[in-house]
A and B are shown apart, each in its own frame.
Chain A
């Protein structure tokens, strides 16, 4: 039996572990407040909170229930809209009512859950962060203007009533009536919960499932599954000598928050805003992004420029592959059957390096890039000692621009070498025309981005006039 808590109720179920939570809450538990809009994690109507004990404290995060298999829920706490307001509306809900932030209302529960996650987790409760928290929620009545007003009202109310320290947010939100009282009892209840998921080994490995459950939800219901997102060990992110090691089931958000990774990419918060939505980043793993092998995978483009390596495993045997050698062709990997990514190793660069990430998509947020690119530069007195520029959307695989990088090696940065690099880059890519733009446009865009890498990192050497 799979056991977990759903709102204040203990659940024990023998349903197939590949059943997605959305179907479970709506069909089995008859809780219709969680809505279905797209079943692909792109609309946020099905957002719920997933709570689990980590470091002796319960942590909640907003996730898309349409992509979350119940097999990942053992010992955890799921909160739906019905679990938020047992008696009275909260400040958040009242703000939505007062500011007319709900029109047809089908998306509203999702917005409420995303913003509850914001209240639970954001170190700073400001407007910009709150809007980012709902970047993955679509309102087709496009009531965003009223939703923004509701958020402003909420923040004013919260400021005057709630103690903002980050630890002990749950009891504080309970004390002020923003969460029902049963939340305080959940940690003890989870601790007492007896759950032993028998690993269906050998089964298909499922970590975050954010791509798998879009592509093959039906198939996953017919085979044994092996959930690896629970293994605390495989989620670890730590420093080992001059490397940052990322476990195979570490999520994008976990990586983002880890100090050692932030040392490598201090701007990760900025880049993160351009990558998926928060509920997706809360579940999606780096390893999953890598093996999915999309030619425009945002995180892979970052990792390519960071010279990441993969430690692959079959049984007890392991080997190491450079990430840029891992892709053999469109969706073809240097990965044998039964072999899987054990962890990802990212070298920690020497201080003083420069890094930049650029992406253009139709929508700025929660969209697939037309072209994305990252650049790592090590420089000594204007001389490039190491250049690693990667690009997505310009070839069948996420690409390290080897010719461009080789050209840049040991060059002194000046407008002429940037122009040459732009030309070389345009020659070593092979974009195709598709829904995200014509081949010509992508080629042009990458050239502009190469310029932008230099312009943003070395503005005193490469001014805006170079491009004109």
Chain B
């Protein structure tokens, strides 16, 4: 029987009442009137002790008796046909137990340098590496292309001769599957809206008061998680597989392995207790997982196959690059009229170079047209990477918006307000960001600083979407000694879902976070979400709360006769169960637990459909960044960041803020440092290490002030929404805008390295003299 509850919903303290229908056995959703003890506060990481003491065991650390070490032989050429592989010497090398090709039959077509050819399992990693050197591969080397502009040309070598099926993972945007044509190396264009033609947008822009048009380029970024991709596989019986995997999706890995080896799902167990980062690249089992399982079966021994840093850069995913030609216009009152985006990029042998998300979903205007294409090149495949397509799109869009604002002589922050009039959340965020950063004090004229070091301040908007998944199963077990354990299959890739689970359960049960044990990261537990697309917290947290709530109700049933009352009159807090009207009449949690029949009980919570659709389906963010530009050397330093984001109701502020701060710093790293460089003459990555593929360090990080704007929707029992993606969307665009404000020069290409900045400055000098 559903029941109606009246909730306080809205943005920040601006709340109004909303009637929401919820199931009878569900708790009243947390809303704006609830001040909770742990939820939304700063609860330290529950796995912090294990991680700081080195006791946390990652897949990388798993050692099994008799375990073999496997390594791939990878193509040294970017394009080739392999017709012959001679392993006769390698198989005799001491310690070698199995050698298997990735493809049963030759020829094997190689499409990028680093593509897997075969794998060797040996008693030590060193033996496997040495054996690889003894394998003779006969390459029929083909012409290749790694430059996306050359790849678009008519006579370019084609990467694929057949139509490419788009493969999406849980990190990609749902519904982005595109039915488009493929010609040569170009897959597309994907035109949006579906029935649109360029004429209409061109006419709209032509009649606009002001128009800006420019081309922006973004680079390929590799995920570079600290723990590389990999698995440890153990066949515990002929038809039973146990696999430790560094993955963002234990259930997807289980399904893929079960499928590959035609095993029942119940015979495959995936374990991910601690996981060293993924950022979107670790959804499936990967060819490494399948090969490790094959080698283990062949050698009849457990096999460890972890990639090395170079393989990580080459083969298991990256953020595709882009070239975006963007034309936008506005009326003389500053209202945007339309956006036209022509975009292409390469995800190597993969797809997913679209960039139109921000252009479509941040501002309010009438006319839109976009063409997006994937260009195939002989390079490692792209993969979902923290807000796929969005940092790229926002880098272009947010600079164009800025440029248009300057052209119209409208304050860039004000311009953003004018063009998001119906988005209450964004309006609130822009206001907070302006106050925090002292935006009003900023010099309106770009390049105003005297001296070689020039400072500037830039702003950019962020956007992402609310996804949450369904049918997750969380169980709360209460033992008769009062201990509580919450269990779900979900993996924690470092973002902190373990702590979120503890926080919610403690809140609901009236216990302390330290009273709650959590078991996660195992496909034999209840179904949990894949960690991607900012789904995990919004998806799982209501099931956690509902499960804890059900457990609490059972405890109330047990306690009711003890307190001579009925269950509906009881409440739980501070380790006690008491009568709401008369809190002095109470029992300790443990006293009640003692009366649990048998040993324990388990209460299940299931993630169901939200109670209602959100009025605004997007999640937002505003970032304001201050930079210092050394105009003598071109060096840019991000000095200070003010970030305002929303994620419904935050569950644990420490993890939420860490997601925001991490998103910003990763964004700065993307804006200033990171760049996968392929040698166009050899097709080989020249910086496949951490020496020359540069990632931001502690000294490169700005001071960050982040604000989480509470937004209460009452859409689920927790009201939580994810935050991982939106935190990194705005940053590069804001840095670009800050560089412009500092110097008067636009740098339209990522990464904004000293050479590009200095050349842009020189070009301006040349133009003005």
Chain A residues with CB under 8 Å of chain B are 26-27, 30-40, 42-43, 45, 80-82, 84-85, 89, 93-94, 96-100, 102-109, 112, 131-132, 134-148, 214, 218, 221, 360, 362-368, 370, 435, 437-438, 440-441, 444-445, 448, 451-452, 464, 467
* Least CB separation from B226: chain A residue: A106
B633 touches A140 (CB 8 A): no
Contact in complex: A145, B665 (CB < 8 Å) = yes
Interface residue ranges, B against A (CB under 8 Å): 44-45, 47-58, 60-61, 63, 124, 126, 129-130, 224-227, 274-277, 279, 308-309, 451-452, 493-496, 632-635, 637, 654-655, 657-658, 661-662, 664-666, 669, 672-673, 677, 686-687, 689-692, 694-701, 704, 751, 753-755, 758-759, 762
In the complex, what residues of A have CB within 8 A of residue B308's CB?
39
Q: How far is the CA of A445 from the CA of B701 in the complex (A)?
A: 24
Cα–Cα, bound, A268→B555 (Å):
67
From B49, B494, B690, contact of A104 by CB (8 A)? B494
Number of A-B contacts (CB under 8 A): 236
Inter-chain contact B689/A103, CB cutoff 8 Å: no
Whether the Cβ atoms of B699 and A96 lie closer than 8 Å is no
Shortest A112–chain B CB gap in Å is: 6
Contact yes or no, B697 A137, CB < 8 A: yes
Asked whether A435 and B686 contact (CB < 8 A) given A103-B496, A105-B276, A441-B755, the answer is: yes
Question: Which residues on the B side are within 8 Å of A84 (C-beta)?
Answer: 53
CB distance B677 to A89 under 8 Å?
no
- Further pairs besides A112-B54, A143-B662: 15, Cβ < 8 Å: A42-B691, A99-B44, A104-B494, A109-B52, A135-B697, A135-B699, A141-B277, A141-B658, A142-B696, A214-B691, A218-B130, A362-B753, A363-B696, A445-B754, A464-B452
Chain A residues with CB below 8 A from B50, complex form: 105
Chain B nearest Cβ from A35, distance in angstroms: 7
Does the CB pair B658–A98 fall under 8 Å?
A: no
Q: How far is the CA of A366 from the CA of B695 in the complex (A)?
A: 10
Name the residue of chain A whose CB is nearest to the CB of B452. Answer: A464
Judging by beta carbons under 8 Å apart, are B690 and A97 in contact? no
Contact A144 B54 (CB under 8 A): no
User: What residues of chain A lie closer than 8 Å to B695, measured between beta carbons?
Assistant: 138, 140
Q: For A444, give its contact among B126, B451, B686, B758 (CB under 8 Å).
A: B758
Is B63 a contact partner of A437 (Cβ separation < 8 A)? no
A339 to B344, CA, bound (A): 56
Closest beta carbon of chain A to B274's beta carbon, Å: 6
Nearest-neighbour CB distance to chain B for A281, whole angstroms, equals: 15
Give me 22 A-to-B residue pairs in the complex whose CB atoms sit less than 8 angstroms apart, sorted by A's number.
Answer: A31-B54, A33-B54, A35-B227, A38-B309, A104-B275, A105-B47, A106-B277, A109-B52, A131-B698, A134-B697, A139-B698, A141-B662, A144-B698, A218-B129, A360-B633, A360-B634, A364-B700, A370-B754, A435-B677, A435-B692, A441-B758, A448-B632
The distance in angstroms between the C-alpha atoms of A81 and B51, with both chains bound, is 10
Closest chain-B Cβ to A62's Cβ sits at a distance in Å of 14
Specify which of A34, A104, A136, A435 lies most central, judged by the most chain B CB atoms within 10 Å of its CB. A104
Q: Which of A82, A112, A445 contacts B52 (CB 8 A)?
A: A112
User: Are A438 and B226 within 8 A (Cβ)?
Assistant: no
Out of B632, B657, B690, B698, name the residue touching A147 (CB < 8 Å): B698
Let me know if A89 and B53 touch, CB within 8 A.
Answer: yes
B494 CB contacts on chain A under 8 angstroms: 103-106, 141
Q: Which residue of A lies closest to B669 (CB)?
A: A142
Contact A362 B754 (CB under 8 A): yes
Q: How far apart are the CA atoms of A451 and B452 in the complex, in Å?
A: 12
Q: Kindly state the separation between the CA atoms of A147 and B697 in the bound complex, as whole angstroms.
A: 11
Contact across chains for B226 and A365 when beta carbons are under 8 A apart: no
Task: Assess whether B699 is in contact with A131, with CB atoms less than 8 Å apart.
Answer: yes
Task: State whether B699 touches A221 (Cβ < 8 A).
Answer: no
Is the Cβ of A35 less than 8 Å from the Cβ of B755? no
- Cβ contact within 8 Å between B48 and A97: yes
Which residues of chain A have C-beta atoms less than 8 A from B126's C-beta?
Answer: 221
Q: Closest residue to B223 on the A side, CB-wise?
A: A140
Question: What's the least CB distance linking B136 to chain A, in Å?
Answer: 19
A100 x B699 contact (CB < 8 A): no
User: Are B309 and A37 touching (Cβ within 8 A)?
Assistant: yes
Interchain nearest-CB distance for B249 vs A (Å): 16
Could you say which of B662, B697, B704 contacts A103, with CB atoms under 8 Å apart? Answer: B662
Quick check: A34 and B54 within 8 Å, CB to CB? yes
Q: CB distance B632 to A467 under 8 Å?
A: yes
Cβ-closest 10 pairs across A and B:
A33-B54, A104-B494, A105-B51, A106-B276, A81-B54, A97-B48, A142-B665, A32-B61, A42-B690, A145-B661
Q: Which residues of A contact B694 (CB under 8 A)?
A: 362-363, 367
Please determine whether A142 and B662 come into contact, CB atoms closer than 8 angstroms. Answer: yes
CB nearest neighbor in B for A142: B665
Q: Of A80, A85, A106, A464, which is within 8 A of B451 by CB?
A: A464
Q: A144 — which chain B residues lie within 8 A by C-beta?
A: 661, 665, 696-698, 701
Closest chain B residue, CB of each to CB of A102: B51
Cβ-defined contact, B63 with A32, below 8 A:
yes
Chain A contacts for B635, CB-based, 8 A: 360, 364
Which partner residue on chain A sits nearest B309 by CB separation? A38
Contacts of A140 in B (CB 8 A): 224-226, 277, 279, 666, 695
Q: Is the CB–CB distance between A100 and B654 below 8 Å?
A: yes
Shortest CB distance A374–B (Å): 16
Please, how many angstroms separate the alpha-carbon atoms of A138 and B452 in the complex? Answer: 31
- Alpha-carbon distance A132/B308, docked complex (angstroms): 27
Q: Which residue of A lies closest to B633 (CB)?
A: A360
Task: Let me know if B673 and A362 touch, CB within 8 A.
Answer: yes
| A30 to B754 CA separation, bound complex (whole angstroms) | 44
Smallest CB-CB separation from B689: which chain A residue?
A: A40
B689 x A134 contact (CB < 8 A): no
What B residues does A221 contact at CB under 8 A?
A: 126
